[in-house]
Amino acid sequence: MKQNVSITVNGVKRTQEVEPRLLLVHFLRDAVGLTGTNVGCDTSQCGSCTVLMDGAAVKSCTVLAMQADGSSVTTIEGLAQNGNLHAVQNAFWEKHGLQCGFCTPGMILTAVDMLQRNPHPTEEEIRQGLEGNICRCTGYQNIVKAIQFAVGAAIKRREDPRFIQGKGNYVGNIQLSGMAHLAIKRSPYGHARIKSVNTKKAAKLPGVIAVFTGQDLIDGGVGKLPCGWNVPNIKVPARWPLEVDKVRHVGDGVAAVVAETPYIAHDALDLIEVNYEPLPAVIDARKATEKGAPLVHDDVPDNVSYTWGIGDKDACDKAFAEAQHVVELELVNQRLIPTAVEPRACVAQWSAASEEMTVWTTSQNPQPIRLLLSAFTLGIPENRLRVISPDVGGGYGSKIFHYPEEIITPWVARKINRPVKWVGTRTEASMTDSQGRDHVTKCKMALKKDGTITGIHVQTWANQGAYISTFAPLIPTALYLTLLSGLYKVKGIWGEMWGTLTNTVPVDAYRGAGRPEAAYLIERLVDMAAHDLKMDPVDLRRKNFIPKEEFPYQTPVAFVYDSGDYHKLFDKAVQVADYKGMRKTQEAARKQGRLVGVGVAGCIEASGPAPSRVAGALGSAVGFWESAVVRAHPTGKITVLTGSHSHGQGHETTFAQVVADELGVGIEDVEIVHGDTGRVPFGMGTYGSRSAAVGGSALVNAAKKVRAKAIKIAAHQLEAAEEDLVYDQDNGKVYVKGSPDKAMPFGALAFASYTAHNLPDGMEAGLEESAFYDPANFTFPNSAHIVQVEVDRDTGEVTLQRYVAVDDVGKVINPLIVDGQIVGGVAQGVGQALWEQGVYDENGQLLTGTLSEYAMPRAHQFPTIETARIETASPHNPLGVKGAGEMGTIAATVAVANAVMDALAPMGIKHIDMPLTPEKVWRAMQK
């Protein structure tokens, strides 16, 4: 029975008749239309939905609208007064306290509450005060700085004003007239045969528009989800948008309901009767290959989808035969759940008149998604299909891939001829977003007595989950085994792996994607070797570095490293960390019986996958170039179209800087357009830390062409030879050498190009250029991270005491943004080392499916992360940049693990698998 509720929202009284079950957050978003308040979880953990209720911060997902009856609510939209940002909003902007922006409204309102109670909080108090808010991007550091800054009163990011005011345009915020809501019936079993699906009761529920089964979709023409990376002899089992014969992981979809409201759609899910025959499940990557293991797909014997190997096996065997010392390790690199705070969502609108479909989706790469929808899964031709990824609340890889809901939503929209919206819940995200890592590995390292590394041998069983996700086979092959040389000059490397199917959520790229797995085992082995050989771990590393004179350096595992100076990198890290001082601190602590450890990691990354020809030879179904258009308008304002997509990385700022610098115009005159296939040309999107190196290079090349044409026009109009002209990049003017007073500004040249009254013979009108940049090679960022931890001898709890991150990501365009990426990446890497793990029981039940069980890093768990850099330019892209998005994660995981093992070394402990939870550490100490 509906009841009246009256809530004053941002000073305006709103009265509405509502169902009592309506949550305050849905009242604000759907009834009032204020979509700045976001929903990131189901269990009151993430804090994205925080608003002020009668002045106090509350989570509006855990308050009924009826409970707020008569109260006064302030949302993020109500914080600015008379057009002036609130001090906390300003501070978040000033200090780069946000990336994707999704958690930002909740963070800001929590900070407002905090500062009301305690106007001068310490850093410790700020971090504690953020316990109820989760950020996946920033590592919290700049949020803490922002709150400190707000108390007192680089180039700031241009995208931030919309996020700090709750005006981000996320897919879940889209409201279309006549929109219906989709919900998916999902398997509660890890493995079961579907005997029948009865939708009759659900279809009869008032408010339900239609219910569809997997067979309905197949009959309606949908296709199987394809794999985009086909290594030799791979077996890619069938995967349908909704399954028909069997379910193979908890969360596998079996039916879809479309209804007038999401509440009714979810009511209807409870009325769908699915008759399952539960089957035995297999969870472990290696056990899946053993005799008698249940088959996930009947047509994939032994559950092995593919195998792959790389290196010089003979040289490797020789190295171990001649080794003076060998270290060996069996490890599990655990399952991770990426957990972008914005759950995936999709909206679709079909125009029956023009037979055109528009799909809004939370994707890192809308153009490839359109291609897959067109060519494989939905069948609407590309010229009648527009895919838009507006603001996306974090991805970290998990939003690269093609997902069933991207097919079902537009299919249903066309079927019922109404706009349809699907917004995943956190629980759904946990069991349907592609997950990360999950390797079982046996590895060993051969050394001489003096610490020279001579061989590395690796065998890995990589869990692929129940299906082969879009790029799954790339991760444990060309992004993992190819990195086994690390920073070191080693001849005898051999790596081989088995990609196996299990009754778990599919596994694909997650921040780092293959490279942290490689870094983890190499750097663990190096530390173990240093311990055995009684060498300082920094010294052992230095002994084996590839010298800077040897770049470009060909490793035995395919890659040619572009540039680097690893000695200089470590010099800097040792100096910033005061490594010797840390060791003294450790020594003193040990004398007191305390377990202090120092962890070192030196890591390599291959970022910006390239070139297309090589990728194709390795199994890629797509190219790895990027597109750009630089369009100068007649007045000289510039629109830039890029195939890259920004979901927190700040492209709207960095890319504008790149183009503004090249053309000498103001950054405020450059507008960046991305994420809409209706506006930008075909491109490849954002993943693998490629945006600056590949997307940015395409932009520079297009801008250079614009500049060249502008110079030609200037030469013609100034009646001078081109070589006699000066392009004044500071002021955006062209003049004849020696006559700066007679300069033609960029705007005048653009205008001249469009009037076409006086152009050189044969020149086409207009000032717009495009470029497709296909890089000659990956870039190879590298890092030296040094960490100090203390382990509680009684409980096994680990405390991070210091964290020093020194990285070489090539030339830096925007230091504020690069530091933000590094620190955010570090937080995710530390999360894997210490807290995060996706756990399945033997039946395939996911035991960590909500944020009450899956431990996301929180602000109070971190010290201030100290960052520093060296810059060695990448020689093969015009910007000299290397990827910056993943290095922090790659290095942090093993740096922290090494620190903990170093702390435990006096007790004879050599290795504990991650996450290094208190209980695991305690158990190791009992032995």
Partner 1 sequence: MYSANFDYYRPKTVAEALELLRKNKGARVLAGGHSLLPAMKLRVSSPSALVDIGRIKGLSGIKASKAAVKIGALTTHAAIAASDAVVKACPILAETAGQIGDTQVRNRGTIGGSLAHADPAADFPTVIVALGGTLTATGPKGDREIEADKFFKDLLTTALKPGELLTSISIPAYGNFPGMAGAYLKHRHPASSYAVVGVAAMVGLVGGKVARVSLVVGGATANPVHAKEAEKALTGQEPTEANIAAAAEHVAMAITHPMGDVYASGEYRTHLATVMSRRALMMAAERARG
Task: Report the residue number, 271 or 484, with the smaller CB distance to partner 1.
Answer: 271
Strands 192-198 and 246-247: antiparallel
Q: Give the nearest distance from C-beta 73 to partner 1 in angstroms.
A: 13
Binding mask 505-544 for partner 1 (x = CB under 8 A): ----------------------------------------
Q: Give the nearest distance from C-beta 124 to partner 1 in angstroms.
A: 14
Reading the block at residue 64, the tokens are 């009924």
270 binds partner 1 (CB under 8 A): yes
Q: How far apart, in Å, are the Cα atoms of 729 and each of 177, 665, 750, 815?
A: 48, 8, 16, 21
Choose, by CB under 8 A, the member of 156, 201, 266, 415 that binds partner 1. 266
Q: How far apart, in Å, are the Cα atoms of 417 and each of 376, 480, 612?
A: 22, 45, 40
Task: Report the residue number, 158 or 858, with the smaller CB distance to partner 1.
Answer: 858
In this structure, which long-range contacts are made by residues 110-116, counting pairs with CB atoms below 8 Å and at least 24 apart in sequence? 110/47, 110/50, 110/57, 111/143, 111/146, 111/147, 111/150, 112/52, 112/57, 112/79, 112/86, 112/88, 113/52, 113/55, 113/56, 113/57, 114/57, 114/147, 115/88, 115/147, 115/150, 115/151, 116/55
334 binds partner 1 (CB under 8 A): no
Q: How far apart, in Å, are the Cα atoms of 277 and each of 189, 281, 432, 716?
A: 9, 12, 21, 79
**Interacting stretch for partner 1, rule CB under 8 A, among 129-137, 347-355, 523-531, 638-646?**
129-137
Run of H or E residues at 420: strand 420-423
- The Cα–Cα gap between 136 and 162 comes to 19
**Cis amide prior to 915 (ω within 30 degrees):** yes
Task: Report the residue number, 43 or 801, with the smaller CB distance to partner 1.
Answer: 43
- The Cα–Cα gap between 159 and 168 comes to 9
Q: How far apart, in Å, are the Cα atoms of 527 and each of 231, 449, 484, 531?
A: 33, 15, 15, 6
852 binds partner 1 (CB under 8 A): yes
Task: Report the residue number, 629 or 904, with the smaller CB distance to partner 1.
Answer: 904
341 binds partner 1 (CB under 8 A): no
Task: Report the residue number, 59 or 876, with the smaller CB distance to partner 1.
Answer: 59
263 binds partner 1 (CB under 8 A): yes
Where helices occur in 719-783 by DSSP H, the ranges are 746-755
853 binds partner 1 (CB under 8 A): yes
- The Cα–Cα gap between 315 and 455 comes to 8
CB count in 10 Å sphere of residue 731 = 14
199 binds partner 1 (CB under 8 A): no
* Rg, the chain, Cα only: 28
Map the footprint of partner 1 across residues 35-74, applying CB under 8 A.
42-45, 47, 50, 53, 56-59, 61-64, 66-67, 69
State the DSSP code for 54.
Answer: T
Q: Give the nearest distance from C-beta 271 to partner 1 in angstroms.
A: 11
State the DSSP code for 471.
Answer: T
Binding mask 813-842 for partner 1 (x = CB under 8 A): ----------------------x-x-x---
Q: How far apart, in Å, are the Cα atoms of 354 and each of 221, 349, 350, 383, 386?
A: 20, 12, 9, 11, 13
State the DSSP code for 853.
Answer: T
Map the footprint of partner 1 across residues 545-604, applying CB under 8 A.
none
Those residues with Cβ within 8 angstroms of residue 565's Cβ, 6 or more apart along the chain or in another chain: 548, 808, 870, 872
- The Cα–Cα gap between 437 and 602 comes to 20
Instruction: Please tell me the count of residues contacting partner 1 according to CB under 8 A.
Output: 61
Binding mask 731-760 for partner 1 (x = CB under 8 A): ------------------------------
Binding mask 896-925 for partner 1 (x = CB under 8 A): ---------------------xxx--xx--
Choose, by CB under 8 A, the member of 132, 309, 664, 863 that binds partner 1. 132
Task: Report the residue number, 64 or 804, with the smaller CB distance to partner 1.
Answer: 64
Task: Report the residue number, 111 or 672, with the smaller CB distance to partner 1.
Answer: 111
Those residues with Cβ within 8 angstroms of residue 244's Cβ, 6 or more apart along the chain or in another chain: 194, 213, 214, 215, 218
- The Cα–Cα gap between 582 and 743 comes to 59
Choose, by CB under 8 A, the member of 31, 72, 80, 113 that binds partner 1. 113
888 binds partner 1 (CB under 8 A): no
**Cis amide prior to 552 (ω within 30 degrees):** yes
650 binds partner 1 (CB under 8 A): no
- The Cα–Cα gap between 347 and 367 comes to 16
**Interacting stretch for partner 1, rule CB under 8 A, among 107-115, 285-293, 743-751, 891-899?**
107-115
235 binds partner 1 (CB under 8 A): no
Map the footprint of partner 1 across residues 16-35, applying CB under 8 A.
19-21, 23
795 binds partner 1 (CB under 8 A): yes
Task: Report the residue number, 521 or 595, with the smaller CB distance to partner 1.
Answer: 595
Task: Report the residue number, 341 or 380, with the smaller CB distance to partner 1.
Answer: 341
Give yes or no for a contact between 496 and 309, defined as CB atoms under 8 angstroms apart.
Answer: yes
**Interacting stretch for partner 1, rule CB under 8 A, among 110-118, 136-144, 353-361, 517-525?**
110-118
Q: Which residues bind partner 1 (CB under 8 A)?
A: 1, 3, 19-21, 23, 42-45, 47, 50, 53, 56-59, 61-64, 66-67, 69, 110, 113-114, 117, 129, 131-133, 262-263, 266-267, 270, 425-427, 794-795, 835, 837, 839, 847-848, 850-856, 858, 861, 917-919, 922-923
